[in-house]
Amino acid sequence: MENTSTASASQHRKYFGTDGIRGHVGSDPLVPDFITRLGYAAGTVITHQAEHPTFVIGRDTRQSGEMLQNALTEGLLASGANVIDLGVIPTPGVAFMVNEMHAEAGVVISASHNPVNENGIKFFNQGALKLSEGIELEIESLLEKPLSLRLSQADRSTQRMDGTHLRKLYIDHLVGEHQDLKLNGIKLVVDCANGAASWYASEVFSRLGVDVVAVHASPDGTNINRDCGSEHVRQFPEDLFALIQQHRANFAVGFDGDADRVIFVDETGHLVDGDHFLAILGDYLQGQGRLLGDTVISTTMRNGALVNYFADRAINFVETPVGDKYIMGELHKLALQNHPENQIGLGGEQSGHIILMDQKHTTGDGLRSAIYLLRAFLASGRSTLAELAESIQKYPQIIASATVSQKIDLEELEDVVALRKALRDELPGLTRINLRYSGTEPMVRLMLEADTRHTEAELAEKAYALCEAVQAGTNTPAGSRLEVLNVSRGGLIPRPG
């Protein structure tokens, strides 16, 4: 289990964000010297009670991944740890291998759905869970001290081992969990984002009987998430819909760069996103008597229709702050309060990050979630995925994302405060507003949701004005990135006028 931290989690973390350490490659902190010191600090803190502990490491397809992995490994070896190199593997594959190999920790080198010039480092503890803030603070505390150990004189009884042959265990596990599932007759367009799913998705689906049309499955180190993947699908569902029509497929699925997110496009070209997943899988698992605590967990960014949907079905709904670690925290509370044998804890985010927690699975897994959705679809008896997804009618909702040069307290931006206050008068049907900075990117995000008195276009007009005020107040250059996503229907909403 994870060590008890002596650091106070209320302290401000300098390097770790909501999902590990992220940044632009070649700029602090993603430079080789820092990453080597990070490896040494993490190896020392996470597993200080074990002699020669084992770390499993995997990465996505970014060209910077191998460089960062080599630097991190040097530090881990110096700390006295052994390292198993899994090569390119989905993030959930690393979490699975921590348990499978009885490793003390795991590391993922990935920036998920973000562009290729960004990368990140994320750690799992012995239970394949993300580190607590206290442990992250201990690592940061050690990072601030000069290394007393010269890496060239590190303990050479430790070793780096090639574990790429072990990746098959992850594929076999995904297929084996659903060996009773026969998906023959389903033709599926699979967008691999030129990422980690490229070597996994086709084999997994094919072995389950799916006729696979793989696209964006030729990573070259530079094309991950470029005009493809789950985030692109959310913005431009028509791209995958065109491929559905071209190949006469049933529907399409898109993963992100590290394959922990998943989004479907149905037969009519509409999105089936994380909200739909939670509704469909909540129904399915409850019907099977396998929904842990008869409860589903999501974040403040979920569509409001979910609350009524679950209430009508006697399913409890718990809301958390944004971030999968908060969802996992609530799932663990559920597991302690209930009997989790043969039960699955269900939680997730609108973005397609779905967690199906049991004793072997502790993080979002796009491939596994996709298989479960296909299983639920077949069990529903519905003739189309579109018909199944329409069982939840979403409220008008948009999410705006805008680049910012700095993160000034939003309450100190007078124009932003005034515009936000005026929204309630200008949009009497407004039901929710959530304005916050991203925890992993230099972005501000705004979610607006209303009842049927308003349209997504009306919400978008207000979102553009409010986000432009944030950009002006944070000294962000005019014309910087600002996009508004139609969450209810998919696709981007253009700027008015």
Active-site positions read 112
Longest dimension (CA), the chain: 69
Burial of 358 (0-12, 13-18, 19+ CB in 10 A): middle
In the beta sheet, which residues pair with residue 347? 297, 355
Helix (H/G/I), strand (E/B), else coil: 111: coil
Angle at 380 between CA 376 and CA 386, to 5 degrees: 85
In the beta sheet, which residues pair with residue 56? 84, 106
- Host H or E run for residue 212: strand 211-215
Query: Which residue reads 């959705």 in tokens?
Result: 373
Angle at 66 between CA 65 and CA 67, to 5 degrees: 95
**Per-residue CA distances from 459 to 231, 291, 398, 426, 433 (Å):** 21, 35, 7, 10, 10
Question: Nearest-CA neighbor of 139 among 173, 163, 105?
Answer: 105
State the Cα–Cα distance between residues 277 and 308, nearest whole angstrom.
16
- Host H or E run for residue 437: strand 430-437
Dihedral, CA of residue 273, residue 279, residue 285 and residue 290, to nearest 10: 110
State the Cα–Cα distance between residues 10 and 94, nearest whole angstrom.
29
In the beta sheet, which residues pair with residue 107? 57, 123
- Host H or E run for residue 378: helix 366-380
Side by side, the strands of the sheet bearing 105-109 are 21-24, 118-124, 105-109, 54-59, 82-88, 160-162
Question: Nearest-CA neighbor of 77 among 49, 36, 107, 108?
Answer: 36
